[in-house]
Amino acid sequence: MAMKKEENSKMEEIISLTKRRGFVYQGSEIYGGLAGTWDYGPYGVALRNNIKSLWWKKFVTDREDMYGLDAAILMNQNVWKASGHVSGFADPLVEDLKTKKRYRADHLLEQAGFEVKGLKPEQMDALIKEKLVKSPDGNPLGEVRQFNMMFKTYIGAQQSDDSISYLRPETAQGMFVNFKNIRDSFSPKLPFGLAQIGKAFRNEIAPRDFIFRLREFEQMEIEYFVNPAEWRQQFDAFYAEQYSFLTDSLGLNPSKIHKVEVPDADRAHYSKHSVDTEFDFPFGQKELLGLAYRTDFDLKAHSEASKVDLSYFDEETKERYFPHCIEPTFGVDRLMLAVLSDAYTEDELGGEGEKRVYLKFSPKVAPVKVAVFPLLKNKPLLVEKAREVYQMIRKEIPATMFDDNGNIGKRYRRQDEIGTPFCVTIDFDTIEKDNTVTLRDRDTGKQERVAIGDITLHLKEKLLK
Ligand code: GAP
């Protein structure tokens, strides 16, 4: 129980810090919020952009076999019929018979201490009945039903069955329906992949855990097409790439990352084999990323439904077939939460027995890499010199900021809280003595004097470590 309290308080501290320092705000806050939506402030945007550009570089720019895409969010409803989402993209829903409040059946069973991995909705229903599981308000529960999570909307001025569309619940389908375009424009040879970053929407029954389970979120997905004989080899290679993205690109702690084989009953309708990567979030070990072997399910389904041939002619084997698909999928918001919660650190460096809170970001993801200050803001000579040094560093390290708000102690505290790895202070010695500045390290609090002529190179070397 004590552990639970600690976990909750860590989440509360993270939520409060990210709001106070301009990372994450509640969606529609001044109207009381909108469940399952959050807005990202300046440092949140910078952190997300860093995560997204590290991903794009690793999986698209640095490879020769990937094609970038940005498909529309709204798609023809037939896409979602053919993909199986209209009939099968659902979560198990159960209703409190007295209050009429609705819950995820698997969540209620988990909270009541039952193992739900691998259970089908009818098995959940039987378990609820057999064990007399109640709602959080202590009332009996109704039948477990399947609830489709797609947000439905209408296109144009007429509201009819023909004008139905959906906000996409995954970015993946935009890539399958563009398979032919890429094939025709670029004539790629297998194996090759399409990659896309974009918003996805799910009408989650129970959005929760801050930015973990959202109704509007962002995905980074790859549909990688292979000869079916090679699927296992490519699947394993992508698992290794996903892992190295988390540890090498984002700097996440390897001991918090877990590989979990998804049981048959929990796999999405299109997948023949799935491996999730779970992460130790403050509220427990939960799914961070997915990897699925989608076989030829989607290309075949879209070929049949659209009557457009999405097969591939293999020049080497002289065969025509539907390529099989390996899908590594990443959630930007969950990655952001993993990075934030892993970086959240408290130590005793606050001075006078006070605790210090800081975000121990890897320099690659830190929204601000370097902050430059004049020791005092009312001394024009110091300010002028500090601005000069700031402009000089910024040319080489764009994520550098100038800060002269409040006293130096407050500035250090603020920079620690937004996770800035290095602070550079211009003081009287800089001007009167030796043209050196103070360089402070976020993690150790240690300071060293560095000549202005060497500071940019020195910082670049440190940021690369
Ligand atoms: N195209 C495959 C697909 O969408 P998924 O496991 O349903 O697979 C992929 O979702 C990833 O998207 C998840 O691993 C997670 O990171 C993210 N994700 C899914 N639902 C989410 C939600 N409601 N809120 C935030 N992120 C979500």
Domain that holds residue 433: 368-464
Same domain, 413 and 301: no
Cα distance between residue 443 and residue 246, in whole Å: 21
Q: What is the CATH number of the domain that holds 407?
A: 3.40.50.800
> Region 271-286: what's the mean pLDDT?
97
**What three-state secondary structure class fits 98?**
coil
Least-confidence region, from 61-65, 265-269, 279-283, 356-360:
265-269
Same domain, 374 and 331: no
Q: What's the DSSP call for residue 394?
A: H
Same domain, 175 and 51: yes
Tell me whether residue 22 is in a domain.
yes
For residue 83, which of 328, 292, 298, 271 has the smallest C-alpha distance?
298
Same domain, 245 and 319: yes
Tell me whether residue 306 is in a domain.
yes
Same domain, 438 and 330: no
Q: What is the CATH number of the domain that holds 25?
A: 3.30.930.10
* Residue 169 CA to ligand 1 centre (angstroms): 9
> Region 195-205: what's the mean pLDDT?
97
Paired tokens of 126: 């039987």
Same domain, 378 and 293: no
Q: Sorting pLDDT into bands at 50, 70 and 90, what band is 6?
A: low
The answer to whether 180 and 66 have CB atoms below 8 angstroms apart is no
In sign, the C-alpha dihedral spanning 381, 387, 391, 396 is positive
Q: Which residues line ligand 1 (CB under 6 A)?
A: 170, 172, 202, 204, 213-214, 217, 219, 221, 287-290, 327, 329, 331, 333-334
- What is the predicted pLDDT for the residue at 1? 33
**What three-state secondary structure class fits 408?**
helix
Tell me whether residue 110 is in a domain.
no
> Region 58-78: what's the mean pLDDT?
98
Reported as half-sphere exposure (CB side, CA atoms, 13 A), residue 212 has a value of 21
Q: Is the pLDDT of residue 15 over 50?
A: yes
To 10 degrees, what angle do helices 452-464 and 380-396 make? 40
* Residue 68 CA to ligand 1 centre (angstroms): 20
In the block, tokens 């007429």 appear at: 158
Tell me whether residue 158 is in a domain.
no
- pTM comes to 0.94
Number of domains in the chain: 2
Same domain, 290 and 429: no
Computed over every residue of the chain, the mean pLDDT equals 95
Same domain, 427 and 298: no
Cα distance between residue 39 and residue 258, in whole Å: 29
List all residues 6 or more positions away from 171 whose beta carbon is below 8 Å from its beta carbon. 71, 196, 197, 198, 200, 219, 221
Q: Sorting pLDDT into bands at 50, 70 and 90, what band is 349?
A: confident
Q: Is the pLDDT of residue 367 over 70?
A: yes
- What is the predicted pLDDT for the residue at 98? 95
- Beta strands 400-402 and 370-374 are parallel
Tell me whether residue 83 is in a domain.
no
- What is the predicted pLDDT for the residue at 7? 65
Cα distance between residue 18 and residue 15, in whole Å: 5
- What is the predicted pLDDT for the residue at 2? 40
- What is the predicted pLDDT for the residue at 88? 86
Tell me whether residue 278 is in a domain.
yes
Same domain, 292 and 190: yes
Tell me whether residue 178 is in a domain.
yes
- What is the predicted pLDDT for the residue at 269? 86
Tell me whether residue 244 is in a domain.
yes
Same domain, 250 and 320: yes
- What is the predicted pLDDT for the residue at 354? 80
Nearest CA to ligand 1 atom 17: 331
Paired tokens of 397: 């390290």
> Region 131-159: what's the mean pLDDT?
95
Same domain, 382 and 420: yes
